[in-house]
A and B are shown apart, each in its own frame.
Chain A
Amino acid sequence: MAASISDRIGWRPAARDGLRRLVPLAALVGIVLTIVLLAGMGDIVLQRRVIFCLIHVVAVVGLYIFMGNSGVMNFSSAGFMAVGAYTSALLTMAPGMKSTFLPDLPAWLAAAHLSPLWGALAGGVMAGLMALVIGIPIMRLSGIGAAIATLSLMFICYIVLGNWTALTGGQQSLMGLPSYVGLWTAGLTAMVAIAVAFVYQETRGALALRGSREDEVAARGSGVRIVRERLAAFVVSGFVTGIAGVLYGHFLGTLRVESFYLDLTFLLVTMLVVGGMRSLAGAVIGAIGISILTELLRLVEVGFVLPGTSWSIATPPGLGDVALAAAMLLIILFRPQGLTGGHEIELPRSKTSTSGLATTSGNTGTANV
């Protein structure tokens, strides 16, 4: 009897608790590590695809930190990625390159030449600062208001960066970024990002924030300071998303403002929603799943021969994008909680242990009851 009550309220004896709490984190880090190790054996083309996928993992985890825990829509990721990418680019590019492509830079910026690590941190911090400054006013908004405010923020970033020619090169590509991002850089960053998100979601503040996600009024009544908790999540989210932008720039070696617009926004939100926006596992699995789907569709577009037969299959170009959007739509219609349904990856629940309920994860009762 006692066991069933403790089961129901999610109370667990501390001794059994310790390591089990880390299972969701270990599982996700394990998945990423496996992918990196497997890709390490593949050819360079495969490796580049995997790096791209890992960068998306970082970005979607960044998006999840705010949107998953708070339940508030956020369509501004692409803007944060752009800010991170351009900050790091301007600080790490060789001065000679900068004087060629951006002759009108202020002198101190033209001379700046930081190491990749400091440049990356600066990119993340810049995005985090932007989240702080803009978050202070807009974290009061919920629902459709928040969606439109963050969408507006993304447009503002796009318009400002796209027209600030002295700083970004405007509509032209910015070339000559040191491209230092390889398989392990991307893989390790993804693992760190997952760890940051996990540690954050185990904090008291994140728990309070998830409370406000389930019932804003009740959470406020229980003393949760919603705006403050949301702001904390938004800043951490901005930092991680900015880092994703840094990786993006230093992987491709060139930047275009056009890349950080509606298509990217839609892709990141799709990845999170398809995976399940209420759990970290959803963010990671969504990013990896959609990346794999995109790759398969690309293969089909190029055309391939069915193994064991002489039939070759090739679809007209452009069909892949259509299928991707259709997949997104179908998931929303038929599995609105996403592939993971808002669960973290946990050990199967045994009769003696009561910790199978995913209370450490993003989901509390309402979704499943």
Chain B
Amino acid sequence: MIDPAQILIDAVSVGGLYALTALGIGLIFSVMRLANFAHAELVTVAAYMLFAFSGSPVAVAILVAIAAAVLLALATERIAFRPLRGADSATLLISSFAVSMFLQKLLVFLVGSRPKALDPLPALSRTVSIGSLQVSALKLVTIVVCLTLLAALTAFLKWTRFGLQMRASAENFTMSRLLGVRANAVIAIAFGLSGLLAAVVAVLFAAQSGFVQPRFGVQIVIIAFVATVIGGLGNLFGAAVGGFFVGVVTILLQAFLPAELRPFREAFLFVIVIAILLFRPQGLFPARNLKERV
């Protein structure tokens, strides 16, 4: 018999990673209507940095990874997305697709496509017992880190000057510019934050999977896309909830689907996405002002 508490811990730790990734994508979508597929490569590059600095102290490696992801996020914004600001979301999506492919092929070219083993958080590879439960320390830390970051991000958006500007831009970009919000600054901060989130996801995800290859970030970002759509594109609260929702659904499908259908579990996830797009095209928590007025 599967222990419900065990399932809950699995679901929250998986969902937390999806939620952080979905938030990174959602932050950027809310300020510039860009569904950033290249978020995957932010995660991948951060993971490669962990690999490159695996000889150094853990803190150093993590800081380098964060710095690399933030810089890469800012660079992609400046080079590829700023010239397209104001273009329709389809053009932006194709452009982010191109950025993603470019970085992925560049990684294959530079480091090869063979997986590299890494263990960024060796201290956490043991289990902790809580009552009768055996839980891996890594899962607990993942949950704690995700919840802390969610709280910190909420606080940033609610109580700081830039957070306020970002929320204003998400609501009505033109209006907030007219009221003195500097577009470049807000967008740069959004990209920087998404880089930070990507790096954190990279650390936790690499610790779980134990290896990195050029497509490392793609899988998790695809699932996070699903989460943002389910939660409501452009709504950060929705993105976080969507992330946890997808985590729970994945774990439940994994646990309760008959064995012969289990390989198809992600297909069910995508069917849910299409269904949600059909019945609630704006997601479960629609963002305000997303629909263009005529």
Contact = CB atoms under 8 A, between A and B. Distances in A.
A327 to B, nearest CB: 9
A152 B227 CA distance: 12
B98 A270 contact: yes
B274 A318 contact: no
Given A143-B89, A148-B229, A325 B105 contact: yes
A325 B214 CA distance: 15
Given A143-B89, A333-B83, A318 B267 contact: no
Interface in B78-113: 80, 83-84, 87-91, 93-95, 97-99, 101-102, 104-106, 108-109
B102 A322 contact: yes
A271 B75 CA distance: 26
Contacts of A156: 267, 270-271
A143 to B, nearest CB: 5
A328 B277 contact: no
Nearest to B273: A152
A163 B102 contact: no
Q: Which of B97, B218, B263, B277 has the most chain A CB atoms inside 10 A of its CB?
A: B97
A144 B99 contact: no
B278 A326 contact: no
Contacts of A269: 94, 97
A350 B88 CA distance: 36
B101 to A, nearest CB: 4
B105 A318 contact: yes
A159 B97 contact: no
Q: Which of B83, B89, B98, B281 has the most chain A CB atoms inside 10 A of its CB?
A: B98
A229 B94 CA distance: 24
A150 to B, nearest CB: 9
In the A-B complex, list the 10 residue pairs whose CB atoms are closest, starting with the nearest. A325-B102, A318-B109, A163-B263, A321-B105, A152-B270, A159-B267, A325-B101, A329-B98, A328-B98, A322-B105
B267 A155 contact: yes
Contacts of B90: 71, 73, 143-144, 147
Given A144-B33, A149-B277, 14 more contacts: A73-B93, A138-B274, A148-B35, A148-B273, A149-B274, A155-B270, A156-B271, A159-B266, A159-B267, A163-B263, A269-B97, A321-B108, A332-B84, A333-B84
Using C-beta atoms within 8 Å of the partner chain, give the interface range for chain B: 35 or more
Nearest to A336: B91
Nearest to B103: A325
Interface string A316-346: 1111011011101100110010000000000
A11 interface: no
Interface of A: 71, 73, 137-138, 140-141, 143-145, 147-149, 151-153, 155-156, 159-160, 163, 217, 262, 266, 269-270, 273, 316-319, 321-322, 324-326, 328-329, 332-333, 336
Interface in B22-77: 33, 35
Given A144-B90, A163-B263, A155 B222 contact: yes
B101 A328 contact: yes
A332 B226 contact: no
B264 interface: yes
A324 B33 CA distance: 26
Contacts of A159: 263-264, 266-267, 270
B233 interface: yes
A151 B225 CA distance: 10
Contacts of A217: 294
Interface string B205-231: 000000000000010001001100100
Contacts of A332: 84, 91, 94-95, 98
Contacts of B89: 143-144, 147
